[in-house]
Structure 1
Amino acid sequence: MATNVIATRLPEVKIIEPKVFGDARGYFFESFNARDFANDTGFTGEFVQDNHSRSVKGVLRGLHYQIQHPQGKLVRVVSGEVFDVVVDIRRSSPNFGKWEGVYLSADNKRQLWVPPGFAHGFYVTSESAEFLYKTTDYWYPEFERSLLWSDAALGIEWSLDGQPQVAAKDAAGRPLADAEVFA
């Protein structure tokens, strides 16, 4: 296996560390292999869209999900660092309302598998960060929802350095108690 898979407090969410081959010239690693990914996560579907964002320090994006056409996401950072957060919003799950946070950076090369049924967001801790993610379904803006990133009931321990910069849709996110969630 070319990767190391690390369990999280949310059993379906996985940290994936690629095996990096480096020398004085630089490094190489396989950032995605469908066969290994299926073995590591149990996910056998396909990815249909790749997204790339750049954000400056202090930007918080999320917590996003699609209530219909839910997306699984394989996320990673190729420049800078973020604190990445996932929240289980499946009402039938024993982990409903629980969260996991992981630092992803260009240096650690970690990836995070966020299955459908979870809200996702990140906070930029470096001067800027470039964030890449593969999705298992297309973006449907009419089904996109935002869970309130600062909902006290979630108790997310963001590593904030001052008040974060958020989009209007994220500032207007709904607390978990009032949010549309999965069955």
Structure 2
Amino acid sequence: MRFSPTAIEGVTLVEIEPVSDARGFFARLHCPEEFAHAGHPFVPAQTSLSRNTAAFTLRGLHYEAPPHEEAKLVRVTRGRIFDVAVDLRADSPTYLKWTGAELSAENGKALLIGRGMAHGFLTLEPDTDVLYQIDRIFTPGHGRGARWNDPAFAIEWPAQPQVISERDAAYPNHGSV
């Protein structure tokens, strides 16, 4: 695997290194030792799947309230998304900044998103499946969110969302959180 830093410390692009032959390819998606050696000691405790039937479905921006923050490794197993992480760590030099990457089943890239970040994505194709590996077991009642189009973040989404849940649409701007 190749690990590339992003503009936000704590968010890393992870690329597979497939071994190909006539059958297709084989690639490791996660190895605790390899992640730790690269300076990212990430060990999943839970794996979840987000199935999205329509293109331009927006999910997020979601995060867990302290002390229940989660780190997650996000990858696409079918389809394509624009994946975003927003730094909500008040003591960080990149506080309220965002980084994004296109993740697809085709490119095999993943985004490792550290604790203290809000996360969201916009599907770019119909029938898109997003696989999450999360470093702690989900604890109900601690989920929070911020508005996907909050001017404090100024996220440059590649398209206007066409499907968004009532909950996600009703999240406040960060200054209101």
Range into which the TM-score falls when normalised by the shorter chain:
over 0.9
SS at match of 1:142: coil
Structure 1 length as normaliser, TM-score?
A: 0.91
Encode CA deviations 1:25-53: one digit per residue, 9 max, x unaligned. Answer: 11100111010011224325x32110011
Q: Percent identity?
A: 34
Structure 2 spans left out of the alignment, 5+ residues: none
Give runs of ≥4 in structure 1 deviating > 4 Å.
none
Encode CA deviations 1:126-153: one digit per residue, 9 max, x unaligned. Answer: 1221100111122223110011001112
The CA distance in 2 between the partners of 1:101 and 1:116, in whole Å, is 16
Task: Please list, as runs of the form range in 1=range in 2, the aligned pairs for 1:8-27 lying within 5 A after superposition.
Answer: 8-27=6-25
Amino acid at match of 1:8: T
Count of residue pairs brought into register by the alignment: 175
Tell me which residue corresponds to 1:157: 156
> Do the aligned residues in 1 keep the contact of 2:32 with 2:41 (CA within 8 Å)?
no
> Do the aligned residues in 2 keep the contact of 1:83 with 1:122 (CA within 8 Å)?
yes
Tell me which residue corresponds to 1:87: 86
Structure 2 length as normaliser, TM-score?
A: 0.94
> Do the aligned residues in 2 keep the contact of 1:66 with 1:140 (CA within 8 Å)?
no
Change (3 A) 1:41 1:133: farther
> Do the aligned residues in 1 keep the contact of 2:122 with 2:161 (CA within 8 Å)?
no
Amino acid at match of 1:148: R
Task: Please list, as runs of the form range in 1=range in 2, the aligned pairs for 1:22-171 lying within 5 A after superposition.
Answer: 22-43=20-41, 46-55=43-52, 56-68=54-66, 69-160=68-159, 162-171=160-169
Structure 1 spans left out of the alignment, 5+ residues: none
For the aligned residue pairs, the C-alpha RMSD in angstroms reads 1.2
Amino acid at match of 2:150: D
